Amino acid sequence: MIAVSAEEIRCLVAVGASLAGVRAVEAARKAGFEGRVTLIGAEPHPPYDRPPLSKEFLRPDHAPEPVVLHGRAELVEDFEAEVLLGAPATGLDLDARTVRAGDADVPYDALVIATGAAARELPGTGHLSGVHVLRDLDDAKAIRLALDDGARTVVIGAGFIGSEVASAARRRGLDATVVEARPTPLVRAIGPDLGSALAGLHERNGATLICGRPVTGLEGTGAVERVHLADGTMVEADLVVVGVGAVPCTDWLAGSGLELDDGVVCDEFLQTSAPGVYAAGDVARWNNPQFDRMMRVEHWSNAAEQGVRAARNAISPTTAAEPYTTVPYFWSDWYGSRIQFVGLAARDQHEVVSGDLAGDHFVALYRECDKLTGALTLNGRRHIMKYRRLIAQGATFEEALAFSRTVAARPRSRGPQ
Amino acid sequence: MMKIVVDRARCTGIGICEAIAPTVFEVDDDGGLVLLSQLVPHGVAAEVAEAVEGCPTLALRLEP
């Protein structure tokens, strides 16, 4: 492979105008990159932040305004970026070094792929209105309208986004049912015991949780009216939100020659199998040195940090490239409670070090062999980041347990109210 | 020396700032952000700047 020197990189292209792509553009300019910068986005909207779409955006007491990351004018004037919105990328030519977007071929010397992930849809439901996934602003607007109309809400999939929608429905006093095909929710994310503990929040807040019964079909004439379950049960619904995971948006890269495997495969520098091509955010599967394994992470902080790192590495591959290492972190808000998770969930190897799983506060630590690998908190905002640091430092599980006793012993810290 | 300002209406205690600059930021049990230092301490200016830029709710800024 011929090394590309920084001087030869004259144009940086970021594909995907959400958090990772926007952070890539910002980072390139902040690092002093003076070449041409192009940001390509599939949606017509200026880049906006996604986590609020299933949280504040759906609350009846909040204005349904998106949190805009940067307006078009700001991107053009402050970051001197060329901005192509409403122009989904449809192809990548690694030999010509061009990205096909809309009807243009955009040339690049350095490329950051940040096309994210798409919500998985329920097959055979496209003909019914009132059935939505929640991924983009238009989805959130439609769901909010239905909630404002008093929709009886059924959420398919007891994951984090679906649970946030159920919370929004209950906040309005609406009937909300969460249907999960597996016997226990959130098993893959946080393990069965803690998945069950969080699922208890649904029942305590008046939502119905049905587990172990897959959806067999949706019924309605024009609009959805009923959800059918495998045991013959029917649930009445005016709004159905499908929250059954997301798939990385790599269709446009098929046949490009780029190595794909549930995402765009990257090394620890976020570089793909092609020179000059990097990936960031939900679409990137990279080797995370922190845990020495390939990972693809669909979390806000990961997208933000990878966008920055990928751009810096892309514009200075020989002089300033650094690996991207991280302890994954996500948060979710259910029924006024804050759930936070850091690290990796080693299944069934956890210990509760504060509160209890039946209550509204707990801190649980995960181990793998003698290492601390993860922490989950429910309303434990003082605790969570301290464990993220311990994981980053490679702390043992024993060290984490000892630390948990010092945190518990310390008086409560209080910020200004 | 730059001063750290928190927009309390925007902050929800997500804690990214604490993860980046733990000697300056700490989230309390209620999700309120405690500034362990009102001014940017020597030696951690880069971390504080990163925390300000990395805030998901744009609740942090620096003032002269």
Which of A331, A415, A417 lies at the smallest CB-CB distance from B14?
A331
A103 and A157 assigned to the same domain:
no
The pTM for the full model equals: 0.94
Of A220, A246, A272, the last residue of a domain is A246
List the single residue in B19, B28, B31 with the smallest CB-CB distance to A338. B31
In three-state secondary structure terms, B21 is coil
Asked if residue A80 lies in contact with residue A29, where contact means CB atoms within 8 angstroms, the answer is: yes
The pLDDT of residue A71 is 92
Q: How many domains does chain A have?
A: 3
Is there a contact between B34 and A413 if contact means CB atoms under 8 Å apart? Answer: yes
**Measured between CA atoms, how close is B14 to chain A, in angstroms?**
7
Confidence at residue B56, expressed as pLDDT on a 0 to 100 scale:
87
Q: State the smallest CA–CA distance between residue A384 and chain B in angstroms.
A: 8
Best of A57, A362, A377, A381 to disrupt the B interface (most B CBs within 10 Å) is A381
- Which pLDDT value is given to residue A31? 94
Query: What confidence category does residue B30 fall into, taking pLDDT thresholds of 50, 70 and 90?
Result: confident
Q: What is the DSSP string of A353-411?
A: EEE-TTSS-EEEEEEETTEEEEEEEES-TTTHHHHHHHHHTT-BHHHHHHHHHHHHHSP
Q: What are the tokens at B56?
A: 């998901």
Question: Which distant-in-sequence residues (6+ apart) come within 8 Å of B11 by Cβ?
Answer: B32, B33, B55, B57, B59, B60
Helix or strand holding residue A84 (H, E): strand A81-84
Q: What is the spatial distance between Cα A284 and Cα A324, in angstroms, rounded to a whole number?
A: 12
Contact criterion met (CB < 8 Å) for B22 and A385: yes
A230 and A269 within one domain:
no
Q: Is residue A197 part of a domain?
A: yes
Low-confidence ranges of chain A (pLDDT < 70): 1-7, 347-348, 408-409, 411-417
The pLDDT assigned to A89 comes to 98
Q: What is the ipTM of this complex?
A: 0.92
What pLDDT was estimated at residue A188? Answer: 86
Sequential DSSP letters for A335-359: TTEEEEEEE---TT-EEEEEE-TTS
Q: Which CATH number covers residue A260?
A: 3.50.50.60
Query: Residues A289, A393: one domain?
Result: no
* A124 and A238 part of one domain: yes
User: Do A278 and A205 fall within a single domain?
Assistant: no
Residue A1 lies in a domain: no
Domain termination residue (choose one: A194, A212, A246)? A246
Residues of B with CB under 8 A from a CB of A: 8, 12-16, 18-19, 22, 26-34, 54, 56-58
In a domain, A222, yes or no: yes
- What is the four-CA torsion angle of B40, B45, B50, B53, rounded to 10 degrees? 50
Residues A166 and A259 in one domain: no
Q: Which two tokens stand for residue A143?
A: 């769901």
- Indicate yes or no: CB of A304 within 8 angstroms of CB of B54: yes
- Same domain, yes or no: A253 and A112: yes
Q: Do B34 and A414 touch (CB under 8 A)?
A: yes
Contact A381 B27 (CB under 8 A): yes
Q: CB A66: neighbour CB atoms within 10 A?
A: 18
A160 located within any domain: yes
Instruction: Please report the pLDDT score of residue A1 as a whole number.
Output: 43
In a domain, A69, yes or no: yes
Amino acid, res. A105: D
User: Which of A301, A380, A415 shows the shortest C-beta gap to B32?
Assistant: A415
Q: Are residues A74 and A138 in the same domain?
A: no
A413 touches chain B (CB under 8 A): yes
Which chain A residues touch B10 with a CB distance below 8 Å?
none
Among A189, A214, A246, residue at a domain's last position: A246
Q: Residue B38: what pLDDT?
A: 93
A52 lies in the same domain as A97: yes
Residue A139 phi/psi, 5-degree rounding, is -60, -45
Taking CB atoms and an 8 Å cutoff, what residues of chain A touch B47?
Answer: none
Query: How far, in Å, CA of A114 to CA of A271, rounded?
Result: 12
Q: How far apart are CA A205 and CA A170, in angstroms?
A: 7
| Nearest Cβ partner for A382 among B16, B28, B58 | B28
Residues A364 and A400 in one domain: yes
Output the DSSP codes for A267-321: -TTSB-SSTTEEE-GGGEEEEETTTTEEE----HHHHHHHHHHHHHHHH-TTTT-
Are B28 and A381 within 8 A, CB to CB? yes
* A250 vs A116: CA distance, rounded Å: 9
Residues A125 and A242 in one domain: yes
Task: Print the domain residue range for A282.
Answer: 11-116+249-316
Contacts of A414 in chain B (CB under 8 A): 28-30, 32, 34
The per-residue pLDDT for range A221-255, each reduced to its tens digit, is 999 999 999 999 999 999 999 999 999 999 999 99
User: Does residue A321 form part of some domain?
Assistant: no
Q: Are residues A232 and A140 in the same domain?
A: yes
Residues of B in contact with A385 (CB under 8 A): 15, 18-19, 22, 27
C-alpha dihedral sign at A251, A252, A254, A258:
negative
pLDDT surpasses 90 at B57: no
Question: Residue A104, SS3?
Answer: strand
A117 Cβ contact list (under 8 Å, min separation 6): A246, A247, A248, A249, A282, A283, A298
Report residue A391 as tokens.
Answer: 């994981």
Q: Is position A136 within any domain?
A: yes
CB contacts < 8 Å between A and B, how many?
Answer: 64
* pLDDT given for residue A348 in this prediction: 63
CATH code for position A370: 3.30.390.30
Phi then psi for A338, rounded to 5 degrees? Answer: -105, 120
Determine if residue A186 is left, alpha or beta; phi over 0 gives left, psi from -120 to 50 gives alpha, anything else beta. left
Contact flag B15-A381 (C-beta cutoff 8 Å): yes
